[in-house]
Amino acid sequence: MSISFEGRVAIVTGAGGGLGRAHALELARRGAKVVVNDFGGARDGTGGSTAAAQAVVDEIRSGGGEAIADGGNVTSASDMEAMAAAALQAFGRIDVLINNAGILRDRTFAKMDMADFAAVVAVHLLGSANATKAVWETMRAQKYGRVLMTSSTSGVYGNFGQSNYGAAKAGLIGLMNVLHFEGEKYGIRVNAVLPTAATRMTGDMLDEQTLAHLAPENVTPAALYLVSEEAPSRTALLAGAGTVSRMAIVETEGVFLPQSQRTPEAVAAAFADLARLDNAIETEAGLAHVERIIARAKAAAIAAA
């Protein structure tokens, strides 16, 4: 199977460097018309310039592709609406959105200023929501859309000193899960990629030998698959250093506690059994979990009658 983006229009936020640049260049190589968005700020989100976005646009055009630059800030809903309008004016449609823009303000929670907590959540989580909202109606109207959230192992597994970043990245998994259901009947598929890559945000955290394995281009194949025509939906792929794997949220079968035994002590006594992952279940939706536990309660009530 050959994956092509001929005739497709893609927006990539935070595409002035690192992962976003790699995604934008490969989309263009495969035929997409690309909106290269980058606010042009520093790693902590301060400052701003369109130079980085324009440099990627120039690179795409020099290779024979079509692209425009956008300097909108993802934290501004009006900037994202203007970005979507510019894409429509230039190219007539919007097929793909890769939410990639991000900043870092790492500190331990004890030392973190809550303004820094809010700033990181605003860019990663609210910024992704702003950009997605700006393209959502266009995708619904054309009955086609592919949206990719950029999450992180810091969100699903945790990482020291990144409470703000981890909270935002975990939130993107929740946003993906909900938008999957809301976009399904309109041909919109929503996924997430969890990259491990050497970028401006991580380059000073790792040694040179490790960085050599973590080129952003190693994440792009998974990202582009997740926004392709044949992409799944509500799927999270981890990608980096040549490995691609799937991340899933599972729950254990659980232990049913009769009415007379619903105490903290009973939970403590049953913990070893209820925490076992031998028969882990990947639940399809929040209501599916509710239906499962209600069915179990009803069956126990009938058995006790």
CB atoms within 10 A of CB 170: 18
∠ CA 172-174-176, nearest 5°, is 70
CB atoms within 10 A of CB 55: 16
Q: How far apart are the C-alpha atoms of 60 and 272, rounded to whole Å?
A: 56
Residue 97 near residue 10 (C-beta atoms within 8 A)? yes
Q: Which of 157, 165, 186, 225 is catalytic?
A: 165
Q: How far apart are the C-alpha atoms of 152 and 138, rounded to whole Å?
A: 28
Q: How far apart are the C-alpha atoms of 196 and 240, rounded to whole Å?
A: 5
**Which residue is it, tokens 């190693």?**
218
Of 148, 168, 138, 171, nearest in space to 239 by CA? 148
Q: Is 157 a catalytic residue?
A: no
CB atoms within 10 A of CB 232: 13
**Which residue is it, tokens 């860019």?**
123
186: phi then psi, degrees, rounded to nearest 5: -105, 10
Q: How far apart are the C-alpha atoms of 128 and 115, rounded to whole Å?
A: 19
| CA separation, residue 62 to residues 13, 29, 148, 241 (Å) | 21, 11, 27, 29
Q: Please list the active-site residues.
A: 165
